[in-house]
Amino acid sequence: MKWTDLVHGCAAAAIIGWTASSSPLKAETPECANLTPSAEGESKVGVRVEPEDLIRLRDIGSIRDFPESPAFSISPDGKMLAFQIRRADPVTNSFCLGMFVVSISPGAKPRQIDSGGAFIRWTSDILGKADFPSGIPKVITPRWSPDGKWIAFLKRVQGLTQVWIASVDGTGSRAITHSDVDVGDFRISPDGRSVVYSSRPALRDEIEDIDKEGVAGFLYDDRFSPVAQKRPIPRPVPTLVTALDIATRVARPATEVEISLLQPNQPPTAPQPISTAQAPSGRKAWISPNEVIPPTTRLIAEMRSGGSIVCHHPECADAGNLVWWTADSRRVRYLRSEGWGQSVTSIYEWTPGPIRPVRLYATDDLLTGCKPLQDNLVCLRESSLRPRHIVLIDPAKGRSTILFDPNRDFGRLMMGRAERMVWKNAIGIETFGDLVYPIAYKPGRTYPLIVVQYQSRGFLRGGTGDEYPIQAFAGRGYAVLSIQRPQAFGYLAHPKSWDEVERLNVDDFSDRRSVLSSIEAGVNLLIDRGIVDGQRVGITGLSDGASTVQFAALNSSMFKAGVMSSCCWERSQAAVLGPTIGRMYRDAGWPSITDKGTDFWPKISFAQNPGRVAFPILMQVSDDEYLAALEGYTALREAGRPVDLFVFPDEHHIKWQPSHRLAVYRRAIAWFDFWLKDIGPDSSILPEDTKRWQDQKHRGLALSRR
């Protein structure tokens, strides 16, 4: 997402727990008994996908890629994998968590070596504020001991995150750190005797100082983000790095060498490489970023004769975030995105020198978190119809072998088939997406369509933020167009800075027009093919996708209903988002709150143009963002436009609670059933909601006859 949408979604600072805890491995509770696949799915053979099926998928890693935090790790002898499985339970509104190891061989059965703990959310320091939370799962990276007998990982128990270790043979697990604040990250020392971990105890002092300041009243300054909370948010503080002797449990300040374990390796000729690799012979290769916009990369390798060489062949342009050497130390292999709209992931091989690289492997599937294993790769893989699983890829033979599929039973369900589509928008930008056909599709018949934004790589689950259940829509008789957002308009003019990119994007809403054009062009292709009923098209979105929904409501006649997971761009945004973000918006070309003579707002604002909003809108937003939605929502309601606003507690932009995600799924389905198919909501929707929607429809019909 762009920075404007990221800061739009910033939430309150995380609260730190103080009580240390330690507990032995406990037996699984009955509701957590199915963390690995079993015969449970056999009873659902041929049954259509329901929202609950998507909520209960077993997950490895996060919903976005964190290259610096791999979701699995390979044992020192290269024979085993370790990873965490996470499964949501909407009934208890909790997660089942387990740490597993499995042999790197097809058909091997995983062994669970730890269970329990609380869901840990990813946080970040942004815009001078510490530990902004999100609904994005933190990647729990297991790290192997040098002898391969145990792994260490982060686990949250009784409100505190600590480092735990678990024996690979399954004999038990325990906490080894007892910090009075959360552990943020850690590494195992090369000899396996110590754990080096980071924490931020000074953040506790910052919070205490803010509490004291409140006695005399808080000065409203850059620490505030009103949509997040009603008090200052702590500023980022230094990180403390501690070394713990595992045997004696004695903790001390880490040495400079130990601190460096938490820093990425950096070859001397590339200060900030994206990826580095060292061959068995000692030769190095790395991928380095170019200082251009949009960002590109260079592939560099050391020559056998000395010195280094940059690969200037076109096939090396935009090399991805992984490079490795073959076992003979002669050739470099790397990942690269290419093809239409960079929708294809390829593996290339380059012999450093004048010979052009050779493409060994290519796929439309999503490959993430890949780690080299001799000449091969172990990756997390997703296809349009298959959730994330672990594979071993042999690039030379063009072969991919499944090592472990946590959701192998999911394939027994009935799903709408997926078709990759490519096209260009009105200004020639390449766009791609995936059409998911309705279940029991019949050629010659037209179907209502739902547009889901704004990434369409990998398993087609629920779009960005996972709030729009694509296969559940297909099971209800909808065609679904999952859209990959096109390249930002601001890149086309060869900008010299990121600020210039944003100004070009905002100028006359050029980027929003480009995105809308891509969506409309894709929908028109389906209408022309006789698949979609052009009078029954809905649109959904979170973050950047929600911005597109808002812009479409005022600038398009294509859509008949919309659902937004965040909202809205309005004149008051600088006030509710806080001073820091307000300045950033003004620098990017947005008018100030006092600029009343502009023609800017009629193109984007619900509040300034409620009568122009073209379709009913359902807003389902997190509680730390709902203030930003109130101006637009209130204007629509006062103007008699069909609109509903639901606010979900303790959510942060992307919703993480299983019960909330299920409610969001169900209400989105019911909303489109009501407005696109004239079908009343089922028993999952409250009767008062049904009556309110009926009243809105009657008012809308009355307004249209005026």
Q: Summarize pLDDT for 94-103 with one digit per residue, the tens.
A: 999 999 999 9
Instruction: Answer yes or no: is 310 within a domain.
Output: no
CA distance linking residue 625 with residue 645, whole number of Å? 12
Report the pLDDT value the prediction gives residue 7, as an integer from 0 to 100.
39
Report the pLDDT value the prediction gives residue 8, as an integer from 0 to 100.
39
Report the pLDDT value the prediction gives residue 116, as an integer from 0 to 100.
94
CA distance linking residue 298 with residue 278, whole number of Å? 17
- The one-letter amino acid at 55: I
Q: What DSSP assignment string belongs to 32-81?
A: GTTSS--GGGGGGTTPBP-HHHHHT-EE-S-SS--TTS-SEEE-TTSSEE
Instruction: Answer yes or no: is 616 within a domain.
Output: yes
Residue 299 forms beta bridges with which residues?
287, 311
CA distances from 664 to 98, 450, 620, 684, 692 (A): 26, 15, 7, 11, 18
Q: What DSSP assignment string belongs to 402-442?
A: EEE-TTGGGGGSB---EEEEEEE-TT--EEEEEEEPPTT--
Residue with tokens 């600088």: 574
Are the beta carbons of 539 and 451 closer than 8 angstroms? yes
Comparing 682 with 673, which gets the higher pLDDT?
673
- Per-residue pLDDT for 29 more than 80? no
- At residue 701 the predicted structure's pLDDT band, cuts being 50, 70 and 90, is low
What CATH number is attached to the domain comprising 471? 3.40.50.1820
- Per-residue pLDDT for 545 more than 70? yes
* Cis peptide bond prior to 96, omega within 30° of 0: no
pLDDT 10s digits, 337-365: 999 999 999 999 999 999 999 999 999 99
Other beta carbons less than 10 A from residue 252's beta carbon? 11
Other beta carbons less than 10 A from residue 592's beta carbon? 13
- Per-residue pLDDT for 384 more than 50? yes
Residue 425 forms beta bridges with which residues?
none
Comparing 150 with 602, which gets the higher pLDDT?
150
Q: What is the arithmetic mean of pLDDT over 308-323?
A: 91
Point out the least confidently predicted range of 32-41, 68-77, 533-542, 581-590.
32-41
Average pLDDT value for the chain: 89
The domain total for the chain is: 2
Instruction: Answer yes or no: is 273 within a domain.
Output: no
- At residue 320 the predicted structure's pLDDT band, cuts being 50, 70 and 90, is confident
CA distance linking residue 133 with residue 131, whole number of Å? 6
Report the pLDDT value the prediction gives residue 275, as an integer from 0 to 100.
87
Active site residue 31: no
Report the pLDDT value the prediction gives residue 182, as an integer from 0 to 100.
95
Return the structure tokens found at 464: 């960005």
Report the pLDDT value the prediction gives residue 596, as an integer from 0 to 100.
77
> Long-range contacts made by residues 109-114, C-beta under 8 angstroms, separation at least 24?
110/36, 110/404, 111/168, 111/170, 112/35, 112/36, 112/170, 113/151, 113/166, 113/167, 113/168, 113/169, 113/170, 113/173, 114/25, 114/153, 114/155, 114/164, 114/166, 114/173
Orientation angle between helical segments 510-528 and 498-506, nearest 10 degrees: 60
Measure the CA dihedral 658/664/665/670, to 10°: 150
Return the structure tokens found at 150: 């145990």
Strand ranges, E, within 142-283: 143-144, 150-157, 160-167, 173-175, 183-188, 194-199, 240-245, 251-253, 275-278
Comparing 291 with 628, which gets the higher pLDDT?
628
Orientation angle between helical segments 544-555 and 510-528, nearest 10 degrees: 80
Domain end marker among 263, 293, 319: 263
Domain end marker among 263, 287, 304: 263
Comparing 371 with 20, which gets the higher pLDDT?
371
CA distance linking residue 688 with residue 694, whole number of Å? 10
Active site residue 69: no
- Per-residue pLDDT for 598 more than 80? no
Instruction: Answer yes or no: is 528 within a domain.
Output: yes
pLDDT 10s digits, 32-77: 778 888 745 445 777 999 999 999 999 999 987 777 789 999 999 9
Report the pLDDT value the prediction gives residue 498, as an integer from 0 to 100.
87
Identify the burial level of 511 via C-beta atoms within 10 angstroms of its C-beta, where 0-12 means exposed, 13-18 middle and 19 or more buried. Answer: buried
Residue 144 forms beta bridges with which residues?
151
C-alpha 178: how far from chain center: 31
Domain that residue 544 falls in: 414-704
Work out whether strand 617-622 and strand 561-564 pair parallel, antiparallel, or are unpaired. Answer: parallel
Are the beta carbons of 545 and 583 closer than 8 angstroms? no
Instruction: Answer yes or no: is 652 within a domain.
Output: yes
Report the pLDDT value the prediction gives residue 11, as an integer from 0 to 100.
32
CA distance linking residue 481 with residue 539, whole number of Å? 9
pLDDT 10s digits, 477-517: 999 999 999 999 999 988 888 889 999 999 999 999 999 99
Q: What is the arithmetic mean of pLDDT over 288-304?
A: 87
Point out the least confidently predicted range of 87-91, 291-295, 441-445.
291-295
Report the pLDDT value the prediction gives residue 509, as an integer from 0 to 100.
94
CA distance linking residue 630 with residue 572, whole number of Å? 10
pTM here is: 0.91
Q: What is the arithmetic mean of pLDDT over 512-539?
A: 98
Work out whether strand 194-199 and strand 240-245 pair parallel, antiparallel, or are unpaired. Answer: antiparallel
Q: What DSSP assignment string belongs to 443-461?
A: TT--EEEEEE-S--SS--S
Max Cα-Cα span within the chain? 82
Backbone torsions φ then ψ of 619, nearest 5 degrees: -110, 125
pLDDT 10s digits, 611-662: 999 999 999 999 989 999 999 999 999 999 999 999 999 999 999 999 999 9
Instruction: Answer yes or no: is 485 within a domain.
Output: yes
Report the pLDDT value the prediction gives residue 26, as an integer from 0 to 100.
41
Sign of the dihedral through C-alpha 515, 568, 496, 338: negative
Give me the percent of the chain exceeding a pLDDT of 70: 93
pLDDT 10s digits, 547-570: 999 999 999 999 999 999 999 999
- Per-residue pLDDT for 226 more than 70? yes
Q: What is the arithmetic mean of pLDDT over 18-23?
A: 28
Report the pLDDT value the prediction gives residue 700, as an integer from 0 to 100.
66
> Long-range contacts made by residues 286-289, C-beta under 8 angstroms, separation at least 24?
286/323, 287/319, 287/320, 287/321, 287/322, 287/323, 287/334
Instruction: Answer yes or no: is 555 within a domain.
Output: yes
- Per-residue pLDDT for 188 more than 90? yes
Active site residue 625: yes
- The one-letter amino acid at 423: W
CA distance linking residue 95 with residue 98, whole number of Å? 10
Q: What is the arithmetic mean of pLDDT over 111-115?
A: 95
Instruction: Answer yes or no: is 299 within a domain.
Output: no
Report the pLDDT value the prediction gives residue 2, as an integer from 0 to 100.
40
Catalytic residue among 543, 566, 605, 622: 543
Report the pLDDT value the prediction gives residue 697, as an integer from 0 to 100.
87
Domain end marker among 263, 289, 314: 263
Q: What is the arithmetic mean of pLDDT over 317-337?
A: 92
Are the beta carbons of 602 and 613 closer than 8 angstroms? no
Report the pLDDT value the prediction gives residue 207, as an integer from 0 to 100.
93
Catalytic residue among 502, 625, 631, 651: 625
- Per-residue pLDDT for 268 more than 90? no
Q: What is the arithmetic mean of pLDDT over 109-122?
A: 94
